[in-house]
Structure 1
Amino acid sequence: MTRTARLAILLVAVLLLGTIGAAAVLRAAERSGRRDQEQAGGPPVRTGAVSLRATAAHSRLLVRNLAWGPHRDEIATAPADRPNGPRTVSGVKCLRFHAAAGTGICLQAVHHALDDTYRAVVLDSHLRPRHAFPAAGIPTRARVSPSGRLVAWTVFVSGDSYAGTKFSTRTAIVDTRTWAIQDNLESFAVTKDGRPYRASDINIWGVTFADDHRFYATLASGGQTYLVRGDVTARTLTTLHRNVECPALSPDGSRIAYKKRVPGASPDAPWRLYVLNLRTMSETPTAEQRNIDDQALWTDNSTLLYALPGDYGSDLWTVPADGGGTARRLMASALAPAYLR
């Protein structure tokens, strides 16, 4: 065999081995990617345009995507009737998020060399920033009024959990037409049990809007929590019911879903999910028996949506609001939902 023939055979062998090696690497990468996706418990994730406008044909569910990968923490959308179908991610990262009528509120961390700061960003229907406000602490709650005009957010100024008593919150409301901000609802006049009330330990959190003037929230003072009805224009808060935290108003405005501290529960897991009838002030426990540390969302007038710890941070669960039925997991690896109808 000539020297030229031997070199040709060697070259073919090298190319063949290289092709086999490259194919093996690609197959391993594909298997690894599939395993990562399966471990995240989520569907395929793809990039694309995400809108905060509902369409006549399909309702959509928006969430903070918690599946592992380069798109973790991005706002994602999926069909409301197929929440575990493919997710379209937006590229916009939020710690807390909510949206309604083409307006979004996104609470973000701003990373610096020595520490992080936080901001509240109002988004347009294409998730583009309209206006940003500094946030005084760690984001925890966010809501948009049904018309999209008002946005609200709550942050922890000190502490990072509602379970204990050593925490302080700051809640703000912004009018997106004028950019006027109520940067601390603790400055509102409080009426408690029919009388004016003042105290140095008042905390307000968990706004849920009825319209562009009225809202509900939690007021804490003296070791007690209360459901309060608020008026943005009059700058007032009026107590309605005790032992209510993180209220969520039903679409028809008749009931409040909330987390309630129950006797005998662990101090680290004290809450169960209840529903309050605003006309009769009667309480109904839901069938969800686990600890709920979230501000629930109504999917319609009969069903509640809320977060529970999951393998990759949080999963979304639903339960009937009337106390019947059973809880079921709706969506894996997701947090901070909003429905576009």
Structure 2
Amino acid sequence: MNTRNRVLIAVTGVLTLAAAAVIYVGAASARNQGTASAGTSDAVTLDGGRLLFRSTADADRGHVSSVSAADPGGARAVSTVSCSRVYAAGGTGICLRPETGLTTYQLAVLDSRLAVTQEIPLVGLPNRARVSPDGKRLAWTVFVTGDSYNGGRFSTRAGTLDLTTDSVEGTLEDFAVTVAGKPYKAADFNFWGVTFTRKPGRFYATMSTGSHRYLVEGDSTARTVKTLRDNVECPSLSPDETRVAYKAAIDGDPAKGWRVSVLDLASGTVTPLAETRTVDDQPAWLDDRTVAYALPRTQGHSDVWAVSADGSGAPRLLIPEAESPAALP
């Protein structure tokens, strides 16, 4: 069975998801059009020393763009590639986008010059995207509907693609789950926010079941996940692999919003960061000291902010009219 067929995720409610895609669509104002055109070019690559992101200055298109890491507020390069979510590492990019003329979505694998090398169909609304540090593994999360246990509300599906073997996991829900050291089975598993380690086949993610949202450690080779800690959503592993940045539900209740925080994996120490606004995003590490994330400005428009990973200082605006940041070392 080829990659294209194996990754198809059979769910209902596709039309509902297509309607929900309006969150990615908006008409850019004259001010935003000015931001989009200033200092633009088509010379966007995955070369180092840049910050890659999805532009929201053209909210209806979401062009993949980049700025100098040394001057993130300066002139941006804007490509002709459009994505709902984008990320890159190790010379490989992932672009989650609508399929042309259809109400479905696809994952596009990008090379270092943003040329599409592979396309994989996805059924669901794009939500999260990640690439392993070596550029050989990709992960995505989509919203879906139709799960009987969920009463017609949105659920999530997280999948992975290994470019070295061309193997696809369309969902992590088939993995063997261990909770608190004991085998655990449930009908309501949801996975999202995958982040890769440098070790082949190993990753972290969020798994929800019941009222819990666990940080889990996964092994794609063994097809297993085990819980590590509760109330951890959208983890992002630091470059030195000692910490995880994530969004923590305030008082354990997502209805109250989320506080971006950092977990030390060895000690279990949690450090709430200086950003006190609610952050509904998967944080991205710019380096071992700095965490970036997107905050909405108006419908369809966002800005990327940065904050110190040790809890000190104050948030700073990093890239206006942007989301889905990725540092290119």
Report the TM-score when normalising by structure 2.
0.85
Alignment check: 8 A CA contact 2:202 2:218 kept: yes
Alignment check: 8 A CA contact 1:173 1:182 kept: yes
Unaligned runs of 5+ in 1: 1-34
Structure 2 residue 90 is matched with structure 1 residue 101: yes
Tell me how far apart the structure 1 counterparts of residues 317 and 253 of structure 2 sit (CA, whole Å): 23
Cα distance change of structure 1 residues 280 and 220 upon mapping to structure 2, 3 Å threshold:
same
Residue 76 of structure 1 corresponds to 65
Matches within 5 A, 1:1-341: 36-37=30-31, 44-54=38-48, 59-68=49-58, 72-112=61-101, 116-158=103-145, 166-211=153-198, 212-263=200-251, 267=255, 269-311=256-298, 313-341=301-329
Give 1:53 deviation, angstroms: 2.8
Alignment check: 8 A CA contact 1:319 1:328 kept: yes
Alignment check: 8 A CA contact 2:143 2:154 kept: yes
Tell me how far apart the structure 1 counterparts of residues 310 and 165 of structure 2 sit (CA, whole Å): 39
Tell me how far apart the structure 2 counterparts of residues 209 and 157 of structure 1 sit (CA, whole Å): 23
Deviations 1:265-298 (A, max 9, x none): 782x521111111001111111111111000001
One-letter amino acid matched to 2:251: P
Tell me how far apart the structure 2 counterparts of residues 201 and 247 of structure 1 sit (CA, whole Å): 20
Tell me how far apart the structure 1 counterparts of residues 84 and 39 of structure 2 sit (CA, whole Å): 19
One-letter amino acid matched to 1:318: A
SS at match of 1:186: coil
Alignment check: 8 A CA contact 1:310 1:332 kept: no
Alignment check: 8 A CA contact 2:32 2:57 kept: no
Cα distance change of structure 1 residues 205 and 40 upon mapping to structure 2, 3 Å threshold:
farther
Count, aligned residues: 295
Tell me how far apart the structure 2 counterparts of residues 335 and 158 of structure 1 sit (CA, whole Å): 25
Tell me how far apart the structure 2 counterparts of residues 167 and 181 of structure 1 sit (CA, whole Å): 23
Cα distance change of structure 1 residues 322 and 265 upon mapping to structure 2, 3 Å threshold:
same
Tell me how far apart the structure 1 counterparts of residues 81 and 88 of structure 2 sit (CA, whole Å): 14
Give 1:264 deviation, angstroms: 8.7
Over the aligned positions, Cα root-mean-square deviation in angstroms equals 2.2
Q: Percent identity?
A: 47
Tell me how far apart the structure 1 counterparts of residues 290 and 152 of structure 2 sit (CA, whole Å): 31
Deviations 1:197-249 (A, max 9, x none): 11000000000011232110000001110000011111110100000000011
Give 1:309 deviation, angstroms: 0.8
SS at match of 2:288: coil
The higher radius of gyration belongs to: 1
One-letter amino acid matched to 2:315: A
Cα distance change of structure 1 residues 301 and 69 upon mapping to structure 2, 3 Å threshold:
closer
SS at match of 2:178: strand
Alignment check: 8 A CA contact 1:43 1:84 kept: no
Structure 1 window deviating more from structure 2 (44-53 vs 238-247): it is 44-53
Tell me how far apart the structure 2 counterparts of residues 106 and 36 of structure 1 sit (CA, whole Å): 27
Tell me how far apart the structure 2 counterparts of residues 69 and 103 of structure 1 sit (CA, whole Å): 24
Cα distance change of structure 1 residues 265 and 238 upon mapping to structure 2, 3 Å threshold:
closer
Residue 24 of structure 2 corresponds to none
Cα distance change of structure 1 residues 98 and 287 upon mapping to structure 2, 3 Å threshold:
same
Alignment check: 8 A CA contact 1:42 1:84 kept: no
Tell me how far apart the structure 2 counterparts of residues 262 and 131 of structure 1 sit (CA, whole Å): 39
Report the TM-score when normalising by structure 1.
0.82
SS at match of 1:292: coil
One-letter amino acid matched to 1:48: D
Cα distance change of structure 1 residues 218 and 61 upon mapping to structure 2, 3 Å threshold:
same
Alignment check: 8 A CA contact 1:303 1:319 kept: yes
